[in-house]
Amino acid sequence: MSIVFEDPHSAPVSSAALGQMAALCWRLRKGRVEVLMVTSRETGRWVIPKGWPMEGLTAEAAAAREAWEEAGVIGRISAEPLGRFVYDKVLRDRSIRSCCVTVYPLRTEEMKSRWPERKERRRKWFAAPEAAGLVQEQGLSELFETLAADPGLLAPVVRRKKG
């Protein structure tokens, strides 16, 4: 499986790739970036909230909705993506399609104890370097490592929060 982390402003991925969006729910603890991971419903592995486009919602609004449904998170999402990664998804008919996931940072403001998928998933905070070692998607792992090395990448979201 070939997975890459890409700059969101680089050349587009193949038009055959399915498009998804994800919310990277984050917070700062003692000057370190922590990310919220949830378990997938099918395999129980650690992932970030992600899903398909939703009619009537922008990509970042759809990502924020996924954060609510999958993790019970409410926060401030950036309209600017952090990046994207590509992975192979096994569809219901057992075919495999390439998916390009655009990742939007969401600064967590609240975590609810009751949310739509609470009976289907677990959620847990991890330091960004630890999260990098937990995910199967190489591109997502690289994104976590990049954030661990440079939390300033989240600065536009932090600035927007003030005011």
Give 153's pLDDT tier (boundaries 50, 70, 90).
Answer: confident
Q: Residue 21 above 80 pLDDT?
A: yes
Q: Mean of the pLDDT values across residues 139-153?
A: 88
What's residue 163's pLDDT?
Answer: 38
CATH number for the domain including 53? 3.90.79.10
Residue 163 lies in a domain: no
Residues making up the chain, counted from first to last: 163
Amino acid symbol at 154:
L
pLDDT tens sequence across 39-72:
999 889 999 999 999 999 999 999 999 999 999 9
Q: Band the pLDDT of 11: cuts 50, 70, 90.
A: very low
Residue 53 lies in a domain: yes
Assess if residue 158 is contained within a domain: no
Q: For residue 129, what pLDDT band results from cuts at 50, 70 and 90?
A: very high
Which ranges constitute the DSSP H helices of the chain?
Answer: 59-71, 128-132, 138-149, 155-161
The answer to whether position 159 is within a domain reads no
Query: How many CB atoms sit inside 10 A of residue 153's CB?
Result: 15
pLDDT at 1 over 80: no
Residue 104 included in any domain: yes
| pLDDT for the residue numbered 15 | 55
Residues 98, 69: Cα–Cα separation, whole Å: 24
Range of the domain at 88: 5-152
pLDDT at 77 over 50: yes
Q: Could you tell me which residue, 87 or 49, shows the higher pLDDT?
A: 49
CA angle 27, 31, 34 (to 5 degrees): 35
Within a 10 A sphere around the Cβ of 141, how many other Cβ atoms? Answer: 19
CA distances from 63 to 30, 89, 106, 115, 140 (A): 27, 18, 9, 15, 15
Total structural domains within the chain: 1
pLDDT band at 162 (very low <50, low <70, confident <90, very high): very low
Q: How far is 106 from 156, CA to CA, in rounded Å? A: 11
Q: What share of the chain is helix, strand, coil (3-state, %, to 5)?
A: 25, 35, 40
Residue 157, in any domain of the structure: no
- pLDDT score at 4: 38
Residue 160 maps to a domain? no
Is 72 part of a structural domain of the chain? yes
Task: Using alpha carbons, select from 29, 48, 30, 28 the residue that is nearest to residue 38.
Answer: 48
**Whole-structure pTM over 0.85, yes or no?**
no
The pLDDT confidence band at residue 158, using thresholds 50, 70 and 90, is very low
